[in-house]
Chain A
Amino acid sequence: SQQGEEDPQALSIQEGENATMNCSYKTSINNLQWYRQNSGRGLVHLILIRSNEREKHSGRLRVTLDTSKKSSSLLITASRAADTASYFCATDLNDQAGTALIFGKGTTLSVSS
């Protein structure tokens, strides 16, 4: 079953603009991760935010987490054409038995120069 859902499904912006993607999830989590996937490639980990954290930065990336709303956002500032990719959130369920990361369907970002 789908745990995370990204919004929007697709986003087109110009170079230099900021891109914001959102992720909503259904159950409590240990942490939430964001991944990027270039066409025809595997996913690459971008950033992990733990359930007790509210905001995290990495370079031009800013991730927020609101556990009360069960949502997260990924902000890419000053976007570049090379940021064109699909972006996925993945949740690590708060489950003692241990389960795999559950991914959403992703947001496809297109940055034009």
Chain B
Amino acid sequence: GAGVSQSPSNKVTEKGKDVELRCDPISGHTALYWYRQSLGQGLEFLIYFQGNSAPDKSGLPSDRFSAERTGGSVSTLTIQRTQQEDSAVYLCASSPRQVRSPLHFGNGTRLTVT
């Protein structure tokens, strides 16, 4: 079946503009995660959605970052007033159930803020 889909795959934006990154998880997966990966670095946790529970937003680096998940499926990560340090690859992952299970990752959105 289809994997996790992220769009766009690449985004170049000017400093100060807002951007929206989209994630389509695998159908039926209840958990959805956003991570950020800077060049040559590991993954930085941003936000985690699990079913109908309140999301874990503890990783969001500033109030310029927000995310929503509509209907328990598609998620949008929004970065307002982008800064150059926001440049990174934004990875989305989903997993199938409440009990811990492997994450399925998309190929990411590479964001470049000029």
Which A residues are within 8 Å of any B CB, using their own CB? 2, 30-31, 33, 35, 40-45, 48, 88, 90, 92, 98-106
Contacts and interface: CB of A to CB of B under 8 A. Distances in A.
Contacts of B48: 99-100
Given A48-B102, A100-B56, A42 B42 contact: no
Contacts of B58: 99
A110 B103 CA distance: 24
Contacts of B106: 42
B91 A43 contact: yes
28 contacts: A30-B100, A33-B102, A40-B107, A41-B108, A42-B91, A42-B93, A42-B105, A42-B108, A43-B91, A43-B93, A43-B103, A44-B105, A48-B101, A48-B102, A92-B100, A98-B53, A98-B56, A99-B56, A99-B58, A100-B48, A100-B56, A100-B59, A101-B33, A101-B45, A103-B35, A103-B42, A104-B42, A105-B42
Interface of B: 4, 33, 35, 41-43, 45, 48, 50, 53, 56, 58-59, 91, 93, 100-108
Given A99-B48, A100-B59, A106-B42, A42 B107 contact: yes
